[in-house]
Amino acid sequence: MSFWEKLLNAIGNTAGNALSAVVEAIRTVFEGDPETRRKVAFSVAIIALSAKMAKADGIVSEKEVEAFREIFEFPEDQAKNVARLYNLARQDVAGYEAYAERLSTLCVTCAANCTVLEDVLDGLFHIAKADGLIHEKELNFLRHIGEIFEMSETRFEQIAARHVSSGRDPYKVLGVSPSDDFPTIRRRYHGLVSEHHPDRLISRGVPKEFHVIANERMAALNAAYAAIEKERRAA
């Protein structure tokens, strides 16, 4: 039995209390398997919040569905289970704030600016921009999620800057200031590269499928550093 089937069997058929049922199922069904629990918690956070984001925006495009599948390359025989969980989140009476608050409690080892919750935000940004741009309602949704996740404004702007397709500010991407000297910027860059290395993602329970987003993130960090380095050399 897949972990999707275990989770959904524990939830039951009701949609009215889906949020509390999902969170409690993650806590109990996978209690003796912390690695799977982390993976399931992360996956559920992306599925549930992307469903809520689609509901808030009012439109679910084919490209957003494709972006979702890029993150979760689940087996075809599990498609119905994943779809059921997605629909439970959309139908649940609880608002996205409640989902974000409850799902963030599953990350028991994190404080403010939690890297696992940053991974969740990155995944949501990836889905939101799939149709070519991030709409105002989607950005407001994501900003509020960041606040619930206790992300600082600076950290949120850094995450958002990675997903801007044009006019990207390399200083925001790295979370540094134009007034910082280059050695400081270089140290910051190397710290981010280490923090977001694929091995680090695996250790904090991020599914291997999420490496699509990880590669995108690393490309943004590398491009930002290269742009600043070129600018400083030309000065």
Q: At what angle do helices 3-11 and 79-91 cross, to 10 degrees?
A: 40
CATH code of domain 3-166: 1.10.3680
- Residue boundaries of the structural domains of the chain: 3-166
Tokens matching residue 224: 């930002």
Tens of pLDDT, residues 158-167: 899 988 766 7
Question: Could you give the count of Cα atoms lying within 13 Å of 42 in the half-sphere of its Cβ?
Answer: 28
- Using CA atoms of 197, 200, 205, 207 in order, give the dihedral in degrees to the nearest 10: 20
Tens of pLDDT, residues 52-107: 887 776 666 677 767 777 776 666 777 777 777 777 777 776 778 887 887 777 66
Whole-angstrom Cα distance, residue 232 to residue 235? 5
8 A C-beta contact, residue 89 and residue 102: no
- For residue 31, what pLDDT is reported? 80
- The pTM of this model reads 0.78
Residue 140: pLDDT over 70: yes
Whole-angstrom Cα distance, residue 225 to residue 181? 13
Residue 174: phi and psi, rounded to 5, are -90, -10
- For residue 235, what pLDDT is reported? 65
